[in-house]
Chains A and B, each alone.
Chain A
Amino acid sequence: MVGKTLTELKPVRSEGSSRVGPRMDLDRRTFLQVLGSGLLITVVEAPTQAQPSGGRVSGTILARLYLNEDGTFTALSGKVEEGQGPRTELTEAAAEELGVALDQVHLIMADTDQVPDDGITAGSRTTPINVPEMRRAAAAARELLQQLAAEQWRVDATMLKVEDGVIQNPSTGQTMSYRDLVRTRDVVPVLSRRIPSDVALRPVEQWKVLGKPTARPNVRDLVTGTHRYPSDIVRPQMLYGAVLRPPSFGAELKSIDLTAVEAMDEVKIVRDGSFVGFAAPSSFLAARAARAAAAAARWQEKPQEVSHRTVHSYLIDHAERERARPDERGSVEDGMAQAQKTLAASYTLAYIQHAPMEPRAAVAEWNGDKLTVWVGCDGPFRARSHLSEELGIPSESIRVIVPDMGGGFGGKHTSEVALEAARIARAVGKPVWMRWTREEEFTWAYFRPAAVIECRGGLGADHSIVAWDFSNINGGRAGIDTPYDIPNARITSIRSDSPLRQGSYRCLGATGSNFARESFMDVLAAASSSDPLWNGEELLRGGLRRGVHRPTYRKDQSARGLSGVRVRSDPESGQPARSSPGLCQHGSRRRPLRRDRIRKRQDPERNVCPLPGAEVSRSAQDRPATGQQYEYPVRGCGRDSDSGHRACHRQRRLRLDGGSTAFHADQRGGFAQRLSQARRASATLSTSFTCTQAPGVRANVKPSVDLSSAPTSFETWEYCDAYPDRFTTLGHPTSSSCQLDYRHSGRRDLGRMPARLD
């Protein structure tokens, strides 16, 4: 009745885009099949349309933009808003080219019945791809509407200009608003034209809307609490859903006695093989039903071979080294042979959850054979396809709407929760709301890949790095290459057999590779000289330490804003071959980090530990000189997070004052500070600090090395040791593991442990 069971669902391929590197496919393990994928949805108000929504042909202006009867515009985008700002910038893009104020454009996002398929919202593609697209559509519309006015006035359209929504003829003083125009002329034939590729866009220096700080269009709804996130959607007669979860990965339901649940008033049971769902008039009753069912379920569990303690050796053991294709420049073996000193270190990354503030949530409503789903996900059209496949109904019968949602961070590329809601809703004949609990989030959502990163380096007689060998096992390719100018370098991305379901994560794999590379650079720097290695001034000049690199500043565009950095260059073009420190590394795209702008925008005082609860401190003497002190955290952000990379193309809304992923940046920053202090004191460094940012997430850096003696090998450093008990408790009910997570989360003011309400 409700299609395939959960165990029969195929893993989704949503995070398997080739752009994100080789390890982003869902893995082969059977437990991955426990969940299928879900979908996402948004709600939008329907504006008064002067043009019908049907028949908008892809590539035409109407597919992207239409003029309403009141002279305002409605713009359409398939992208989703999850806090990264596309609603603002796409609205601005349209307003700018149309020559209207921001409030004259209403943007509809991520509603499969209304908007073009712009693909999944990921990889920071909206700004470089969709903003120019929107600008072209709007510019084409403006030109054509201008022409209509020119025809009416019998003048040359090029003489006219548009300001504040009014077409003007400067020579005659004649004016006509868009509102007048749409009332006197049929604009549909004109706007049905294709968007020319050579349409002229408004030059940056003439921008009036774009590039200006502005509030998010729906900011008022956010501060008044009236915005409806996916989990806030309410439909008439809606029931609240819950699903019975296995006690461990790969467990199969052997039998279940649902007598106790059947005895519950108002609770409906949806049973299909291993899939057991519940619908009730309140989330409380639905959860109670799921708990009662869990208590009465017998499972065939699989032994959990891998724990958090063994996962990294497991990844190493299952590394497919023979299939890896290293990218090698020069000869690492020769370089190592020439080196006066060689060092090696390995770094590990734990599986971590994205932990958006809003859990995965959906509402599904059937109307006959037609399904409407509101869901928090990154790809509405992908969700629609997946629902179609799993539910056995045509895509055309499904409408997926993604309301502006409460964060995703790469974790909502799939939409399992929508599928679950849709199945229960179909069975019970009423709209069904589903929202995963934090426990479900931390257990059943896909993880950022765990990884082992092996580094080897060779130092020459002149303290330069002569050999660099960097292998990332299971972490993906993003940010894997070194930006430093090293004559013999080998970069290898190696697949392994991920024991957990893994997928995209903000900044993709770049966080891990950047962490390992820069940490190992610290190691090499420490080993190369007896001088204090961490000199703020030098750090500011490019993140390189005396004795390791001799700065040779390349004054080229991609290195703009950087100084003292020797960037590896392409021998033929002389241009930097890849990224340089501070350049964003994100998949195959690298964009320059505009440090010059970042410097202007940041308030120095606020770089000190922006995270409440983070125990990162910085003493006055550690601070670089005024005017330069941004570099430190920016350096961290630029390399270790997507905030630097966002900054590249969204300067006006720099988030670096908060450090969008200061989670990573500050771990590096905090560690570096302590490293610096330890070096000055010639002390043994042994520190750990926590950075609490999401429920249950603990970030932990535990180096324990004596850098003053310049050792030649290092213990593995743990990074992001979130969920220390995750694996060890997989065999137990998820609630206990969740509590353990919190207990280890390092927060000092947790108060009492969660009250179990039942």
Chain B
Amino acid sequence: MDVTIHFNVNDSAREVTTDRQRRLLDVLREDLGLTGSRFGCGEGQCGACTVLIDGKTTRSCITPIGSVEGKSVTTIEGLAPTGTLHPVQQAFLDKGAMQCGYCTSGMIMSTVALLERNPDPSDAEIVTALNGNLCRCNGYARIIDAVRHAARIARS
């Protein structure tokens, strides 16, 4: 059954009319053209589809679009609205914290949320925060390094 959902994506008001069971990830990618959030597993386990909903990390592949009515969604495309990279993006770039890069959007979004609530995380806290994000190329050490670096950039 199609419904009309009003929500905010990257600070702009959006309205979609679609089946309320469709996943947010598909709506972002197929209806709104925001392909930066990736499909990895479709079951909320790999973190490639991570977006922020009202500031909290959310797996958009298991989030029905019907549940985001009135909410505010931030995707990787919303981090650098003016073209200047977000500190976390800059840190991932500086540290070369990706190989294929397919997990990178989700890693960055999880890191953004982490640093919002904890500007100076310990390594253990970083690992805990990113535990739901998989990198199959296995670049974890660099990713953790990038998160540390991002925290430093954001603090300075």
Using a CB–CB cutoff of 8 Å, the interface residues on chain A facing chain B are 82-85, 213, 215-216, 219-220, 222-229, 231-232, 234, 240, 282-284, 355-359, 404-407, 409, 435, 437-438, 603, 606, 610-613, 643, 653, 655, 657-663, 692-696, 738, 742, 745, 747, 749-755, 757-758
Q: In whole Å, how far is A43's beta carbon from the nearest beta carbon of chain B?
A: 12
User: Residue on B with the closest CB to A660?
Assistant: B138
Q: Which of B34-85 contact A (CB under 8 A)?
A: 34-46, 48, 62, 64, 75-77, 79-80, 85
Give Cα distance in the complex from A693 to B40, angstroms. 13
- Pairwise interchain contact A231-B141, C-beta atoms closer than 8 A: no
Q: Mark B20-34, 1 if CB is under 8 A from A, else 0.
A: 011100100111011
Chain B hits for A83, CB < 8 A: 98-102, 137
Q: Mark B88-116, 1 if CB is under 8 A from A, else 0.
A: 01101100101111111100100000000
- Pairwise interchain contact A355-B42, C-beta atoms closer than 8 A: no
Residue B120 at the A interface, CB < 8 A?
no
Q: In whole Å, how far is B84's beta carbon from the nearest beta carbon of chain A?
A: 11
Give Cα distance in the complex from A85 to B96, angstroms. 11
User: Residue on A with the closest CB to B99?
Assistant: A83
- Pairwise interchain contact B93-A240, C-beta atoms closer than 8 A: no
- Pairwise interchain contact A226-B45, C-beta atoms closer than 8 A: no
Q: Which single member of A240, A356, A749, A754 contacts B132 (CB below 8 Å)?
A: A749
Q: In whole Å, how far is A171's beta carbon from the nearest beta carbon of chain B?
A: 41
Q: In whole Å, how far is B109's beta carbon from the nearest beta carbon of chain A?
A: 9
- Pairwise interchain contact B39-A231, C-beta atoms closer than 8 A: yes
- Pairwise interchain contact A754-B77, C-beta atoms closer than 8 A: no
Chain B hits for A663, CB < 8 A: 138
Chain B hits for A355, CB < 8 A: 136
Q: Which 6 A-B pairs have the closest CB atoms?
A: A225-B36, A83-B100, A406-B102, A225-B76, A754-B43, A83-B99
Residue B130 at the A interface, CB < 8 A?
yes
- Pairwise interchain contact A358-B104, C-beta atoms closer than 8 A: no
Q: Which single member of B92, B93, B134, B142 contacts A357 (CB below 8 Å)?
A: B134
- Pairwise interchain contact A357-B135, C-beta atoms closer than 8 A: yes
Give Cα distance in the complex from A659 to B41, angstroms. 23
Q: Which single member of B45, B101, B140, B142 contacts A227 (CB below 8 Å)?
A: B101
- Pairwise interchain contact B101-A406, C-beta atoms closer than 8 A: yes
- Pairwise interchain contact B140-A695, C-beta atoms closer than 8 A: no
User: Residue on A with the closest CB to B140?
Assistant: A610
Chain A hits for B133, CB < 8 A: 612
Give Cα distance in the complex from A595 to B77, angstroms. 41
Give Cα distance in the complex from A326 to B33, angstroms. 57
Chain B hits for A661, CB < 8 A: 138
User: Residue on B with the closest CB to A215?
Assistant: B96
- Pairwise interchain contact B38-A358, C-beta atoms closer than 8 A: yes
- Pairwise interchain contact B96-A219, C-beta atoms closer than 8 A: yes
- Pairwise interchain contact B102-A229, C-beta atoms closer than 8 A: yes
Give Cα distance in the complex from A215 to B90, angstroms. 12
Residue B139 at the A interface, CB < 8 A?
yes
Q: Given A220-B93, A357-B46, list of 7 further CB < 8 A pairs?
A: A224-B36, A229-B38, A356-B136, A660-B139, A695-B41, A742-B43, A749-B131
- Pairwise interchain contact B43-A438, C-beta atoms closer than 8 A: yes
- Pairwise interchain contact B21-A754, C-beta atoms closer than 8 A: no
Q: In whole Å, how far is A472's beta carbon from the nearest beta carbon of chain B?
A: 25
Q: In whole Å, how far is B58's beta carbon from the nearest beta carbon of chain A?
A: 11
Q: Which single member of A85, A223, A284, A692 contacts B99 (CB below 8 Å)?
A: A85
| CB contacts between A and B, total, < 8 Å | 195
Chain A hits for B35, CB < 8 A: 225, 228, 232, 234
Q: Which single member of B79, B135, B138 contacts A224 (CB below 8 Å)?
A: B79
Q: In whole Å, how far is B129's beta carbon from the nearest beta carbon of chain A?
A: 9
Residue with the greatest number of chain B CB neighbours at <10 A, chosen from A225, A662, A755:
A225
Residue with the greatest number of chain B CB neighbours at <10 A, chosen from A216, A358, A406, A655:
A406
Chain A hits for B105, CB < 8 A: 225
Chain B hits for A603, CB < 8 A: 141
Chain A hits for B38, CB < 8 A: 229, 231-232, 357-358, 406
Residue B127 at the A interface, CB < 8 A?
yes
Give Cα distance in the complex from A610 to B75, angstroms. 27
Chain B hits for A405, CB < 8 A: 100, 102
Give Cα distance in the complex from A222 to B137, angstroms. 15
Give Cα distance in the complex from A483 to B5, angstroms. 64
Chain A hits for B33, CB < 8 A: 234
- Pairwise interchain contact B99-A655, C-beta atoms closer than 8 A: yes
- Pairwise interchain contact B36-A606, C-beta atoms closer than 8 A: no
Q: In whole Å, how far is A434's beta carbon from the nearest beta carbon of chain B?
A: 12
Give Cα distance in the complex from A361 to B65, angstroms. 24
Give Cα distance in the complex from A435 to B39, angstroms. 9
Q: In whole Å, how far is B127's beta carbon from the nearest beta carbon of chain A?
A: 5
Q: Which single member of B45, B131, B137, B143 contacts A660 (CB below 8 Å)?
A: B137
- Pairwise interchain contact B93-A223, C-beta atoms closer than 8 A: yes
- Pairwise interchain contact B136-A409, C-beta atoms closer than 8 A: yes
Q: In whole Å, how far is A70's beta carbon from the nearest beta carbon of chain B?
A: 23
Give Cα distance in the complex from A663 to B139, angstroms. 11
- Pairwise interchain contact A284-B77, C-beta atoms closer than 8 A: no
- Pairwise interchain contact B89-A224, C-beta atoms closer than 8 A: yes
Q: In whole Å, how far is B26's beta carbon from the nearest beta carbon of chain A?
A: 6
Q: Which single member of B26, B30, B141 contacts A657 (CB below 8 Å)?
A: B141
Chain A hits for B131, CB < 8 A: 612-613, 749
- Pairwise interchain contact A223-B142, C-beta atoms closer than 8 A: no
- Pairwise interchain contact A754-B141, C-beta atoms closer than 8 A: no
Q: In whole Å, how far is A442's beta carbon from the nearest beta carbon of chain B?
A: 10
- Pairwise interchain contact B41-A438, C-beta atoms closer than 8 A: yes
6 contacts across the A-B interface (CB closer than 8 A) = A220-B85, A283-B26, A358-B38, A610-B141, A658-B139, A658-B142
Chain B hits for A219, CB < 8 A: 93, 96, 98, 101
Q: A225-B76, A229-B38, A229-B102 are in contact. Are A757 and B22 (CB under 8 A)?
A: yes
User: Residue on A with the closest CB to B102?
Assistant: A406
Give Cα distance in the complex from A269 to B43, angstroms. 27
Chain B hits for A358, CB < 8 A: 38, 40, 100, 102
Give Cα distance in the complex from A750 to B134, angstroms. 12
Give Cα distance in the complex from A215 to B91, angstroms. 12
Q: In whole Å, how far is A439's beta carbon from the nearest beta carbon of chain B?
A: 8
Q: A232-B35, A234-B35, A282-B30 are in contact. Are A226 and B41 (CB under 8 A)?
A: no
Q: In whole Å, how far is A496's beta carbon from the nearest beta carbon of chain B?
A: 28
Give Cα distance in the complex from A35 to B51, angstroms. 35
Give Cα distance in the complex from A701 to B37, angstroms. 34
- Pairwise interchain contact B100-A612, C-beta atoms closer than 8 A: no
Chain A hits for B40, CB < 8 A: 357-359, 438, 695
Q: In whole Å, how far is A279's beta carbon from the nearest beta carbon of chain B?
A: 13
Q: A224-B76, A234-B33, A357-B40 are in contact. Are A757 and B21 (CB under 8 A)?
A: yes
User: Residue on B with the closest CB to A613?
Assistant: B131
Chain B hits for A84, CB < 8 A: 99
- Pairwise interchain contact B22-A282, C-beta atoms closer than 8 A: yes
Q: Which single member of A229, A694, A754 contacts B134 (CB below 8 Å)?
A: A694
Q: A438-B43, A612-B127 are in contact. Are A224 and B134 (CB under 8 A)?
A: no
Q: A219-B93, A657-B141, A695-B46 are in contact. Are A240 and B134 (CB under 8 A)?
A: no
User: Residue on B with the closest CB to A607?
Assistant: B141
Q: Which single member of A216, A225, A407, A612 contacts B140 (CB below 8 Å)?
A: A612
- Pairwise interchain contact A612-B130, C-beta atoms closer than 8 A: yes
Q: A82-B100, A283-B26, A657-B142 are in contact. Are A437 and B42 (CB under 8 A)?
A: yes
Chain B hits for A749, CB < 8 A: 131-132
- Pairwise interchain contact A693-B101, C-beta atoms closer than 8 A: no
